Structure 1
């Protein structure tokens, strides 16, 4: 095991800081609502950065720069799709979901919300949606643990088995102790670290390559098609990359941030902060990969590791161009991206097991203290299962991330959208939409028809199923309609111009 001392010290300080934040959050966790949703107390800034950090995993600093480095600017279509999808999610879902979950039994989880929103006494909706969350998120968690292990393995020369536990231990620790508040507060720190790394690194790479004109000349010398947005792209390919944005409407770890905001009035400010953060981060990630083409074209003798694995472009540039202490901080940004997403996924799985199975079926009258400790136990259980799945790196768990993203996007995306926008929707429509969306993704993935990303047919067919089965079934009850109208009225009032009450008088 080769150890880079400054980088190791930086990592240790960073991880210790995250665990200390977890301990601070422990003191503010008094009941299960605090553990799962932070007592709905997040302000605009924390809501915004927590939503962003929980979304952008190690893919932001490894996968995206690597894809740009390998294929040029044409790989940035996915970034454009993600920006559009995230903005529409903030605009149409965030504020409405915040008020609708509160008006429907103060729901703490998505399965809990679906069950209350559609008066599902059979609890089929709750169980099915919780199962979808557990299956896809356990795979997601495993992918995050693999990414963390790869980082420790490549940075410190650890064996994969040692790196697996080293990468997962800190995340498990602060999530276990502090719950949602710890995850959200650490996400804020991690998001700040990520944007710092993604703004600073491409600037330094640009200077190291000789400035703007020499950099662009070197990229063109390597392959002029690197500047072509349509390089090797078909219409179906571009649409498939852009369609990643559809996934946002159904991602439980992102939707949980909306549900935890202290007020619906905090959402517009949070949207502006989050979108600015996201645009800067994605632009920085694209720039790292793009300028990296020029740097390694000019310095081919340093390109060995990147030639073996293009996803190491950010790691190698940080090591080569920065003082070891600064490089340690920049590499911590990758760890931050991995930890922020993994912690959110662990907590969502824990909440599904605790709220939607343990409390709903086993211990309806369980005390708040009991639920918090069961929630902590579920964090450990899911983490251990995810570590077991990740133990063999040849399982290609990381390749399943796009599958899980599509699964959530198609199974939950239309369901969440229609639930907050269409009052005529009923339980049968919700069940049909969830099942059709999930099954379409599974079947389409197997056959790969048209080369189209499976989230597109999944989202479309799920939306059609929701409308058809809702209209064929009985109309929603008066109580259901009343709750919808009350939630909509609260949402509308929160978005009235500030001067409106004065004008009315």
Structure 2
């Protein structure tokens, strides 16, 4: 690796810029509310792009283009499912969750919200939900570290055991220092970089091939089934791919962005911005993979790396088609995708440990300053555990991301969705639904399968459990129902 390589220099400048944003956010962080939720001050633009960037990890620039490159348009069903799920999440959950968390003791985390929404004096909801967050997000964080390490390893030839620190160090630093504001502000920059990378690269591939018609003809000549949306897919396979969209209702690192919006009135505009960003990014990722088929069919001498690993199609096209300085900026989009998701996961995990264990069980009267520093300590602890898990170069952690997405989607998704729509929902219904959702995912994944993505039976059974158990028990207390009605009225008034 040459230290004066333009791409390397661009990467370093990008990382330094993210760290600088972290230190600027440090000056705006006055208390624990600021550190965990940015003082509920995010405008529509930052809310939208932060939610999008924290959602879309390196999968957007590596996994999806690679899948399209290898198997054609049939792999785009997952993108369709994600778009539908994200839109429904913005429509039904985002605004309501922003209002309900504020009316329920200004809840700062999901376990906090569950506890106060149902007046759970046993604190079982807090304990179980916080444990789910810690277990699945440690896996998630480790996968982010692995993805970052692979990026530095393949782009610059950095040995893996050094690359895991390069990929994680900057993210850890700006989350440690700046907290939620740093994560949200850097997410906004990173989301802008990601969409730039995904829109400009397909255009340059088309220019390199001559025109779009030539590209399509080349792809058809390679294999006409590349255009077939149903190629090799059964009905269950399509449903499973689209089922990824159900996960949005339960992802803590996305839901916390809604909670942090400046007001419920900021949500509709944020939804329009966020969905536009998401659709363009996913379309760009599909286009990169699809047009990559044409480019490497016409340039077989350059196809070695992508033949070995299809997930490199985006990075290889960028390195071939762009000036090294421009390539550095565009490839920083991959780093942006990794860093934005990893930072969001670190902060949510830190929040669970600090708010839901340390403050709730150990130091109820801890000062704001103490909680901020404990939160920073938890960021460091979780990051080190994630790096430890990722330190094995043969780590299978990336394969567990789908498992973790399903776990959150089934355990939290129905509870969050129904809790903001139905005032008759009870504490026992929430707890039973959470447990059934999580257990179903584990049992289905390991013992049943049937080719169906485990989030689908998990989400359905958890929803039915919440409904049945809630109706079997006593109605929620009058105070709980009154808070729900006040929050719902505020939400409806804001959308008149």
TM-score (norm 2): 0.99
Cα distance in 2 for residues equivalent to 1:3 and 1:72: 38
Q: Does 1:208 align with 2:198?
A: no
Question: C-alpha displacement at 1:395, in angstroms?
Answer: 2.1
For the Cα contact (< 8 Å) 1:111–1:356, is it kept in 2? yes
The residue that corresponds to 1:477 in the other structure is 477
Q: Which residue of 1 aligns with 2:402?
A: 402
In structure 1, the residue matched to 2:161 is: 161
- Please report the RMSD computed on the Cα atoms of aligned residues, expressed in angstroms: 0.7
CA 1:362/1:155 → structure 2, altered by over 3 Å: closer, same or farther? Answer: same
1:280 CA drift (Å): 0.3
**Corresponding position of 1:335:** 335
**Partner Cα separation in structure 2 for residue 451 and residue 291 of structure 1:** 30
1:109 aligned partner: 109
Structure 2 CA distance for aligned equivalents of residues 345 and 288 of structure 1: 27
Unaligned runs of 5+ in 1: 497-505
Note the C-alpha offset of 1:213.
1.3
Q: Gapped runs of 5+ residues in structure 2?
A: none
Distance 2:147 2:222 in 1: 29
**Residue of structure 2 in register with 1:460 after alignment:** 460
User: Is the CA contact (8 Å cut-off) linking 2:174 and 2:183 kept in structure 1?
Assistant: yes
- The residue number in structure 2 matching 1:300 is 300
- CA–CA separation in structure 2 for the residues paired with 1:19 and 1:448: 46
Task: Tell me the residue number matched to 2:93.
Answer: 93
Residue 490 of structure 1 is matched in structure 2 by: 490
**Structure 1 partner of 2:79:** 79
1:127 — aligned with what? 127
Please give the residue correspondences for 1:207-286 in structure 2 after superposition, counting only pairs within 5 Å: 207-286=207-286
**CA apart distance, 1:2:** 5.1
Secondary structure class of the residue paired with 1:423: coil
Superposition TM-score, scaled by structure 1 size:
0.98
- How far has the Cα of 1:61 moved from its partner? 0.1
Counterpart residue number, 2:417: 417
Aligned residues: 496
Equivalents in 2 of 1:412, 1:394: separation in Å? Answer: 31
- Contact kept? 2:250, 2:409, Cα under 8 Å: yes
Secondary structure of the corresponding residue to residue 420 of structure 2: helix
Alpha-carbon separation, structure 1, partners of 2:222 and 2:148 = 32
Distance 2:481 2:181 in 1: 33
Contact 1:4 1:156 in 2 (8 A): no
* 1:355 equivalent in structure 2: 355
Residues 58 and 337 in structure 1, CA contact (< 8 A), matched pair in contact too: yes
Residues 281 and 91 (structure 1), Cα distance of their counterparts in 2 relative to 1, 3 Å cut: same
How far the C-alpha of 1:448 sits from its partner, in A, is 4.3
Give a deviation string over 1:70-99, Cα, whole Å, max 9, x none.
000010000000000000000000000000
Shift of 1:3: 5.2
Q: Which residue of 2 aligns with 1:447?
A: 447
Superposed displacement of residue 393, structure 1: 2.5
CA contact (8 A) 1:37 1:256 kept: yes
Residue 397 of structure 1 and its aligned partner are, at CA, apart by 0.5
Q: Which runs of 4+ in 1 moved over 3 A?
A: 1-4
